[in-house]
Amino acid sequence: MSKKYTLTSLVVWVAALGYFVDIFDLLLFGMIRTSSLKDIGITAKEDIERMGLMLDNWQMIGMLVGGIFWGILGDKKGRLSVLFGSILTYSIANIGNGFVHDVYLYALLRFVAGFGLAGELGAGVTLVNELLDKEKRGIGTALVAGTGILGAVVGGFVVKWVGDWRICYFIGGGMGIMLLLLRVGIMESGMFETMKQSQAQKGGFRLIFSNKKRLMKYLGVVFVAVPLWYVVQLYAKYSPELADAMGLHFSDADRKSVPVNAIMLTYLGLTFGDFACGLLSQYMRSRKKAIWLFMLTTIVVIIAFFILAPKSVFLFYTGICVLGFSVGYWAVFMSVAAESFGTNIRSTVTNTAPNFVRGTVVLVNLGYEFLKYRLHYNSVQANITVGIIVFALAIWALTRLEETFGKDLNYIEE
């Protein structure tokens, strides 16, 4: 008789803590971008923005490559191999970040860190969805995502308290190493163990790309979550440039805290949004309806933000926090990704889909940079233009998805 897992089981909370460390390390660069670049010799305001975008891109490219690697590994060798390998990789890379004195070495280590970070969330969510009862797995995923997203809030407090960006990287890497000790008692998914005995193809993209319906569903899963990272990138990480374009003025001391405050507030909103959207999807017994409601709310909040935020710093920060709440459907998105595909490619999907979503930040950055530096849009105009494209894709994507609430996950894709 298989073991029964509940919402208080160790596997749920280890997955949540893993995602907590993942988000802490992933968003840390955004918080210390300016101070770290200045410390290694990049001082001009325009160079800090452009070098920051370059380093962001390398981190996200690492996540794209890592998502493919860890996803396929999870389907071929098991979910636990990913949990151990990925966290060790990004912990070592983040410790290495604390020693850099050159922007190119910085970029290489951000790539390696992104590669490692790519495996954490997908493997954890796959395990939770396969081990919990189908009526509880949505809440389990919300617990993982909501708790994990608090990593950005805690990261903000650590940056403010510690101050030294190098020590912040050491703390992030150290937390990852400590988390490895908690992983020792976690058991492999029973669904994976059963599937391992079958002759079905395990992992890889052939099963996705060889079937048009499956491919459209996969693309739908990816594009539906891009608005979240559009908000994180252009409203939180690059909040100083957005505030400047809106005519808001900060002292030099206050300006240094703008990205830290914005990221903390965005992820505070995301934490509550993920819990709310997860519970709403359970109440409505529908993943799609919950995502529709949150996505349309985000569009309304963005319109209100550009009308009200230029009036004061308080409204600017309040708007960013509310935006974080309104795009808080990441947990439900992860449930949809895990529930939409069979056991033999579930790890591939749940690892690659969120990392392809994160990887679209590269396209968001390139589009924003092209509009601002080639077509000479200001930050607000570039932001809105990119946003229109992002939401058009997301709305199309949501129409391609099937309802997955209560779906039996114990099946194999042929």
Residue 405 is assigned to a structural domain of this protein: no
Percentage of the chain lying above the pLDDT 90 cut: 29
State the pLDDT confidence band at 4, using cuts at 50, 70 and 90: low
Residue 406 is assigned to a structural domain of this protein: no
pLDDT in tens, 217-233: 989 999 999 999 999 98
The answer to whether the beta carbons of residues 121 and 354 sit under 8 Å apart is: yes
Query: Which of 8-17, 161-170, 254-263, 338-347 is most confident?
Result: 161-170
The answer to whether the beta carbons of residues 127 and 15 sit under 8 Å apart is: yes
Provide the token pair at 62: 């690492």
CA distance 302 to 389: 14
Provide the token pair at 208: 């996705």
pLDDT in tens, 188-244: 555 545 555 555 555 567 778 788 888 899 899 999 999 999 999 899 988 888 888
Q: How many CA atoms lie within 13 A of 107 on its CB side?
A: 12
Place of tokens 């998105």: 333
Closest CA to 385 of 377, 393, 373: 377
Report the interhelical angle of 79-97 vs 165-182 (nearest 10°): 160
Residue 412 is assigned to a structural domain of this protein: no
First to last CA, the chain: 27
Indicate the number of domains in the chain: 1
Q: Is the pLDDT of residue 96 over 90?
A: yes
Q: Is the pLDDT of residue 413 over 80?
A: no
Average pLDDT of every residue of the chain: 84
Q: Which amino acid is at 396?
A: W
Q: Which has the minimum average pLDDT: 174-183, 262-271, 374-383? A: 174-183
The answer to whether the beta carbons of residues 250 and 313 sit under 8 Å apart is: yes
Distances 97 to 106, 172, 176 between C-alpha atoms, Å: 6, 10, 14
CATH code for the domain in which residue 226 is found: 1.20.1250.20
The answer to whether the beta carbons of residues 269 and 288 sit under 8 Å apart is: no
pLDDT given at position 367? 93
> What SS3 state is found at 172?
helix
The answer to whether the beta carbons of residues 234 and 383 sit under 8 Å apart is: yes
Closest CA to 320 of 226, 236, 230: 236
Residue 359 is assigned to a structural domain of this protein: yes
CA distance 220 to 206: 17
Closest CA to 253 of 166, 320, 163: 163
Residue 414 is assigned to a structural domain of this protein: no
Residue 329 is assigned to a structural domain of this protein: yes
Residue 269 is assigned to a structural domain of this protein: yes
Residue 413 is assigned to a structural domain of this protein: no
Torsion angle (degrees, nearest 10) of CA 110, 114, 116, 117 = 130
Q: Which has the minimum average pLDDT: 98-107, 319-328, 405-414? A: 405-414
Domain region containing 49: 10-194+204-400
| Sequence-separated (6 or more) residues with CB below 8 Å from residue 216 | 400
- Tally Cβ neighbours within 10 Å of residue 214: 18
